[in-house]
Amino acid sequence: MGKVGANLLAGFQGVRENQELISLRAQVQELQAALAQARAGELDEPEKADLDQRMEGLTAVLQETGGVHEIALDLIDRDDAQPRTVFPRVTIQERMESLRYHGQKTPIIVIPLEDGRYRLFDGELRFRSAQKLQWPKLKAVFLPEEEVTDARELFEGQVITSIHSQRLHDLDLATALVRLAVEQHPTLAGQEERFGTLLNTALRRLEREGKLSELAEIRLANPDRQTQWIEEAGFREFEEQQLFATILRLQLNPVSINSNVFPLLKLAEDLKEVIRTEGLESSKARELNRLSAEKLNQTEEKARQIRQQVTQDVIQNRLSLNETRKLVQQMIQAHNPQVRSAPSNDRWVKSVAAIEVDSIADAAILKELKAALKAKLDEVSQALRK
């Protein structure tokens, strides 16, 4: 190719990229609108089905352009960057049964690599189930490598799809958010340990300033509006802004990330492992995490043994959250008698303090809350009089 041709090709690349970007933005906008409706409960069944259908659209497009191929399982590599690592055994079991009886309905999406192997883009569950069934092959469609050159976008895409289909466990979401934040804002690298504190501090400040209730609307707003809000929200640290940008861009509420998601990062490694393999609920994992060396007054090794034993108990006997909490408390008291049942009283005080009054915009709910609190107060006064 001559110099002129090379020059034209290079310049034209910009036209193509711009078109792809615009078409992606349009798709994302449409999906966002549909998802916002879905969240607000505005979608009826046919509309929900339509949304699912559009999610499958990518597979269909790829099928049309590249056809469906049968790929040997041993040529497929899992994507290490895949944000979803939690696959409870029972889910895999279900999928195995479904594959065995109905066969593979939707092709998985793989990225053909230069060395003749394939990287899995979508379909991890089908892939794992097929492995267990000892199937030799799976049906797959190809996602061309040039469309996924930007690993960051690929990763973000996976997080978004997984959140949307609600397949991502809170623990995976937490890990993914940390990674995304650092990839989107490289200056955050090395500060990952601070993320929880940063978010918490920023939220407390928003709460004091009465801005917490704005988050519900802002998380569904378009990126420009979100950026504007972040700039005007009065954050002290630039890192806070960056963290909020990452969370809001995924339409997540920073309040629930702060209370339910980020705390999971502090779980003991063995508990994280149980979440990944057994699908243990995060609320129970957080209770079990209280079985620490310090609280139990034991060595790290001994504490880990106790924790594992209780965890197995919780899983095998399908203990409820309440039962788990009691069991944990019993274990702590058994090993460390100094710790009386004080924490449970403390817990009530904490949960009252945790009510985020500023985040409740609805006057009706506020009134209801006021009535409930008043009734409780009367009960407390009565108990004291006795």
Partner 1 sequence: MAAAKSGKTQIRIMIGSNAGGSGKTTTSVHLAYGLGKRGYKVTIVELDYSGSLSSFTGLPMNPTEDQSIATVLHKGFKGNYPLQPIWANKLSTVTAIQGGEAIRDCIREVPINARGHYTLQDRLLDYPLEADVVIFDTPASLEPMGVMALAASTHVLSPIKPEIKDAQGLFGFLRWYDTTIEELRLRPQPEILGFLPMRVDYVNSGTHRDVLGVDRKGKTQSNVDVSATLPGLLDSVGIHCFPPVKESKNYLRACVDGLPLPLYRPGLPAAQDFDPVINRIVQLLK
Q: Which is nearer to partner 1, 5 or 116 (CB)?
A: 5
Please report whether residue 2 would count as binding partner 1 according to CB under 8 A. Answer: yes
**Stretch of residues binding partner 1 (CB under 8 A), selected from 2-10, 51-59, 264-272, 348-356:** 2-10
Contact 165, 133 (CB under 8 A): no
Alpha helices in 167-268, H assignment, sequence order: 170-184, 195-208, 215-218, 223-232, 238-249, 254-256
Smaller CB separation from partner 1, 22 or 355: 22
Encoded tokens for 177: 């958010």
Q: Contact between 22 and partner 1 (CB under 8 A)? A: yes
Q: Which is nearer to partner 1, 32 or 308 (CB)?
A: 32
State which residue, 4 or 342, has the beta carbon closest to partner 1: 4
Comparison of 24 and 151: residue with beta carbon closer to partner 1: 24
Nearer to partner 1, 21 or 216 (CB): 21
358: left (phi over 0), alpha (psi -120 to 50) or beta: alpha
Q: Which of 24, 25, 77, 365 binds partner 1 (CB under 8 A)?
A: 25
Task: Convert residues 79-118 into a mask of x (bound to partner 1 by CB under 8 A) and - (unbound).
Answer: ----------------------------------------
What string of DSSP letters covers 84-151?
-----HHHHHHHHHHHHHH---S-EEEEE-TTS-EEEEE-HHHHHHHHHTT-SEEEEEE--GGGG--H
Give the H/E segment covering residue 110: strand 108-112
- The partner residues of 142 in beta bridges, in order of sequence, read 110
* Binding flag, residue 14, partner 1 (CB under 8 A): yes
d(Cα 373, Cα 371) in Å, to the nearest integer?
A: 5
Contact status: 228 vs partner 1 (CB under 8 A):
no
Q: How far apart are CA 106 and CA 154, in angstroms?
A: 21
Q: Strand 76-77 vs strand 118-122: parallel, antiparallel, or unpaired?
A: parallel
Q: What's the rounded Cα separation, in Å, for the pair 18 and 30? A: 18
Please tell me whether residue 71 adopts helix, strand or coil conformation.
strand
* Site residues (CB under 8 A) for partner 1, limited to 261-320: none
Q: Considering the complex, what minimum distance in angstroms separates the CB of residue 2 from partner 1?
A: 6
Choose the binding region for partner 1 from 14-22, 133-141, 226-234, 332-340 (rule: CB under 8 A).
14-22
In 3D space, the residue among 209, 203, 190 whose CA is nearest the CA of residue 240 turns out to be 203
Minimum CB distance to partner 1 smaller for 5 or for 41: 5
Say how far apart CA 61 and CA 376 lie, in whole Å. 58
State which of residues 24, 26, 189, 334 lies at the interface with partner 1 (CB under 8 A): 26
Return the range that interacts with partner 1 (CB under 8 A); candidates 17-25, 43-51, 346-354, 373-381.
17-25
Give residues in contact with partner 1 (CB under 8 A). Answer: 1-2, 4-9, 11-12, 14-16, 18-19, 22, 25-26
